[in-house]
Chains A and B, each alone.
Chain A
């Protein structure tokens, strides 16, 4: 794989999703998504969760932006370290 093209590919993916992230609020309407809509239509209530996650997606623009950035970093870090570890075990 050509190194320059590969870095370009990463840059392109980053820029695409950066645009998406900033545009989040514009499209992130208060409307329910497909599954939520079906649940609502049929009057299904979600039960009480027995596990409470440390973070949420936030309820305003800044919160959502920060959640998106945090999620991006956490996902990148975890997949990167996991695959690197997988490769290292392969060599051993």
Chain B
């Protein structure tokens, strides 16, 4: 189970690093680093959702919208690795699966949604970013639900949660948390597009955007 996360996540991330290396615009480096640091902090911030539960930003859609798919994946990977190794958030055992869910699946869903909803060159539109943010959180959560269910069957019930419970509950909570992610992500992108449209040049929301 743990190995499965690594086995899928590592090649995907290696591919993102390879593509980023070929396309990296040096002028974007300080902005990428600041954004990565900002998303790290944003992931610490819990906002209350319904029923005594809190949500906190994943940030994958924000990273992909502003930096493109490869930049977004690399930034998410760095954040998750630092959280795990330096701050003990999410444990070393779970890192492979966390990387799969939040540094591979969530950015891919965000990228796909942004691509599908963008209109030609004038590709910022009101629905793409919030939809991508919501869908990326929900999909990552459902992947996590499936993994909990797989752990349950593989460990013969000693760890994890039955599929009939884990998948719907992860889905329901994160369908709500995803709304928070959508509001925050859209707010930041809209705000940046107003005060500093230059920062949108490297990602998917800018004109002439490339992957």
Please name the residue on chain B nearest to A44 by beta carbon. B161
Given A34-B55, A35-B144, A42-B161: A72 touches B40 (CB 8 Å cut-off)? yes
A72 to B86, CA, bound (A): 12
Interface size on A, residues (CB 8 A): 62
Smallest Cβ distance from A23 to chain B, in angstroms? 7
Please name the residue on chain B nearest to A83 by beta carbon. B29
Smallest Cβ distance from B24 to chain A, in angstroms? 6
Contact of B192 among A9, A14, A56, A73 (CB under 8 A): A9
A41 to B161, CA, bound (A): 10
The interface residues of chain A lying within 8 Å CB-to-CB of B195 are 8-9, 12
**Does the CB pair A34–B177 fall under 8 Å?**
yes
From 32 to 64 in chain A, residues with beta carbon under 8 angstroms from any chain B beta carbon are 32-35, 37-39, 41-42, 44, 46-47, 49-57, 64
Contact of A38 among B78, B79, B161 (CB under 8 A): B161
Smallest Cβ distance from A25 to chain B, in angstroms? 10
Please name the residue on chain B nearest to A35 by beta carbon. B144
A-contact bits for B71-87, CB 8 A (1 contact / 0 none):
00001001100111111
**Does the CB pair B82–A42 fall under 8 Å?**
no
The interface residues of chain B lying within 8 Å CB-to-CB of A64 are 44
Given A8-B195, A12-B192, A38-B161: A31 touches B54 (CB 8 Å cut-off)? yes
A-contact bits for B16-45, CB 8 A (1 contact / 0 none):
010011101011111111111110111011
A70 to B79, CA, bound (A): 13
A73 to B170, CA, bound (A): 32
Smallest Cβ distance from A49 to chain B, in angstroms? 5
Prevailing SS type, chain B contact patch? helix
**Does the CB pair A79–B198 fall under 8 Å?**
no
Residue B121 at the chain A interface, CB threshold 8 Å: no
Please name the residue on chain B nearest to A43 by beta carbon. B161
**Does the CB pair A72–B173 fall under 8 Å?**
no
Contact of A86 among B20, B54, B84, B162 (CB under 8 A): B20
The interface residues of chain B lying within 8 Å CB-to-CB of A2 are 198
**Which A residues lie at the B interface, using CB under 8 A?**
1-2, 5-6, 8-10, 12-14, 16-17, 20-21, 23-24, 27-29, 31-35, 37-39, 41-42, 44, 46-47, 49-57, 64, 67-68, 70-80, 82-84, 86-87, 89-90
Can you show 11 pairs from A to B with CB atoms below 8 A apart? Answer: A12-B191, A24-B44, A27-B45, A29-B48, A32-B54, A38-B169, A44-B160, A50-B92, A54-B86, A79-B33, A90-B24
